[in-house]
Chain A
Amino acid sequence: MLRLRYNLRDMSATNSTTITVKLLLFAQFREALGGKERQIEVDPGTTPRELLARVSAGTVRLEALQAVTRFLVNSEFVSGDEPLLDGDELAFVPPVAGGLT
């Protein structure tokens, strides 16, 4: 999950080259990935949808949910196509309870 990218410009700068996002895991994501939350370092510009693809890769059950999963950033529903910011709290929202009572 942790990914660092080096290039000459970044190495000459004092700032970190990544941002940190708090990922909240629910339902199938919690069970498949383990744990309710984790801190993830990502490259600036990473979108929720890209991060979903990354954490789902290799897990058939999660890959199958990708097309129907929505996104909450800081408790607000978002499209998933806007870049994440340092310190954002991201949650993946697989299909909700729904159904017939």
Chain B
Amino acid sequence: MYRVSEEPLSLDELLRDVSHQGAGAVVLFLGVVRDNNEGRDVNYLEYEAHEAAAEASMRRIGEEAESRWPGARIAASHRTGRLEIGEPSVIVAASAPHRAEAFEAARYVIDTLKAETPIWKKEVFEGGEVWIGEGA
């Protein structure tokens, strides 16, 4: 399951999606809105996505992970819109026969997703705002 949506993320749904009888390990990664960045006090974040392309990108990355770590199963979900401090913006679930592959696959998926998937993040802080990735 790969989803980009304004709705709050569901851990249960992702967990269910990757669980199966051959999975001895499940890793859940949550990216959470932090209250500070580069010395600034963050008020909130706004995420914006090209939904069709973002879901396709997440699916491609997940399928890549599944072929690289045999037995792995991946699901990922990303939220858009305004997110407050402490709210999860992204969840990656990775199951695998053993924990080493589950950790590695989850890490691969979140790192690649953050570098490639067309989702943009605006940080609104005390005294201004900035699109992350602008090279400010």
Residue positions of A touching B, CB distance < 8 A:
24, 26-28, 30, 65, 68, 72, 75-77, 91, 93-99, 101
Contact = CB atoms under 8 A, between A and B. Distances in A.
Interface of B: 31-32, 34, 47-50, 52-53, 56, 110, 114-122, 131-135
A72 B55 CA distance: 13
Contacts of B122: 27
A95 B136 CA distance: 12
Given A26-B118, A27-B120, A99-B121, A93 B134 contact: no
Given A95-B134, A97-B121, A98-B115, 14 more contacts: A26-B48, A26-B120, A27-B131, A28-B131, A75-B56, A77-B53, A94-B120, A94-B131, A95-B131, A95-B135, A96-B133, A99-B132, A101-B31, A101-B110
Nearest to B30: A101
Contacts of B52: 75
Given A27-B131, A99-B133, A93 B121 contact: no
Nearest to B55: A75
A97 B53 CA distance: 15
Of the candidates A76, A91, A95, A98, the one having the most CB atoms from chain B within 10 angstroms of its own CB is A98
B118 A72 contact: yes
A98 B118 CA distance: 10
A93 B118 contact: yes
A77 B132 CA distance: 21
A97 B114 contact: yes
12 contacts: A24-B50, A26-B50, A26-B120, A27-B120, A28-B131, A72-B118, A76-B53, A97-B114, A97-B120, A97-B132, A98-B132, A101-B31
B134 A96 contact: no
Contacts of B117: 96
A96 B135 contact: no
Contacts of B114: 96-99, 101
Given A96-B119, A97-B119, A99-B121, A72 B133 contact: no
